[in-house]
Copies of this chain bind each other. A is one copy, B any other.
Amino acid sequence: MSKTSKTSWRTKLHDIIYEADTPAGKLFDVILLITIITSIILVMLESVKSIDSKYHNLLNISEWVITILFSIEYIARIITVKKPSKYIFSFYGIIDLLSTIPKYISLVVGGVHALAALRALRLLRVFRILKLARYLGASNNLVNALKASRAKISVFLFAVIIVAVILGTVMYLIEGEENGFTNIPKSVYWCIVTLTTVGFGDIAPQTPLGQFIASLVMILGYGIIAVPTGIVSAEYANQSNTKKEEPKNQDIHLNSKSCENCLAEKHKDNADYCYNCGEKLYN
């Protein structure tokens, strides 16, 4: 950390935008987080008729302010990265673009309704800011447990869907259109609603036989929930045990610095070059 290298303004900006270890970087992240959450709340309020009609101008101006802030951030991100194309076509690069552009498009096309959805994507950006490093470390076992149980949960979900299709067809034949089971896809939808114990009640069996089969579906669904839960908890317990036996090497600290070239993160504190692309790292 004692090493001080000549850093251009671009490198400084890179550190502020992409990293969270310096005070300026932390401040940037906090401001960005607040902006994103504000923006999401604005999108929500805009959809409420009574609020939109009262405060339409205020909401419109706020949205423009946020859009411009996001645009500046987007450009800054492109400038400070060595290979902009890598950022632009990365997952977060696309999310950043999609969540910034709707307001500009609305200028050309008019306030298209469906663009609101794109703005909701801004919420995904929260994941980047939080970097979730601290939490991800904590929930590493969980991620491993979920990975280990992936295949079993797939088989399980596959079985649930097959059961839903077959029982849905049976319910369609028993209950019929007059009781709301208008067609097979709707019956299958009802069957999923029931198997997952959600039970909206917008469609409900009326005939005694239908109610009997519905009872079986419910008890089945109630029993089925034990399977993924059992798998995850056993696998998770397994992960914890395995970890205990391994020597702990958590004393190696990985910082949140990200490479200017390839955006790779989690470098060791004493690393001078990116482990991924060999690019020189600046503090």
- Bound-complex Cα distance A126 to B158 (A): 10
With A198-B198, A228-B223 in contact, do A116 and B184 touch (Cβ < 8 Å)?
A: yes
Q: Chain A contact residues: over half helix, strand or loop, or mixed?
A: helix
Would A117 and B173 count as touching, CB distance under 8 A? yes
A94 interfacial contact with B, CB 8 Å: no
With A47-B184, A113-B173, A169-B116 in contact, do A225 and B227 touch (Cβ < 8 Å)?
A: no
Would A230 and B236 count as touching, CB distance under 8 A? yes
- Bound-complex Cα distance A162 to B197 (A): 20
A40 interfacial contact with B, CB 8 Å: yes
Would A236 and B234 count as touching, CB distance under 8 A? yes
A155 interfacial contact with B, CB 8 Å: yes
A106 interfacial contact with B, CB 8 Å: no
Would A215 and B192 count as touching, CB distance under 8 A? yes
Q: How far is the CB of A28 from chain B (nearest CB, A)?
A: 21
Would A153 and B223 count as touching, CB distance under 8 A? yes
Residues from chain B with Cβ under 8 Å of A13 in the complex: none
- Bound-complex Cα distance A157 to B217 (A): 13
Would A232 and B226 count as touching, CB distance under 8 A? yes
With A184-B47, A201-B201, A232-B230 in contact, do A157 and B117 touch (Cβ < 8 Å)?
A: no
A33 interfacial contact with B, CB 8 Å: no
A266 interfacial contact with B, CB 8 Å: no
The residue from B48, B123, B211, B227 contacting A189, defined by CB atoms under 8 A apart: B211
A138 interfacial contact with B, CB 8 Å: yes
- Bound-complex Cα distance A145 to B226 (A): 11
A114 interfacial contact with B, CB 8 Å: yes
Nearest B residue to A168 by beta-carbon distance? Answer: B120
8 shortest A-B CB distances, which residue pairs?
Answer: A230-B232, A230-B233, A198-B199, A200-B201, A201-B201, A202-B204, A47-B184, A120-B169
16 further interface pairs, Cβ-Cβ under 8 Å (given A189-B214, A197-B197): A44-B183, A44-B188, A116-B169, A121-B166, A127-B162, A139-B152, A153-B223, A185-B208, A192-B215, A194-B198, A195-B222, A226-B229, A229-B233, A231-B236, A233-B233, A234-B237
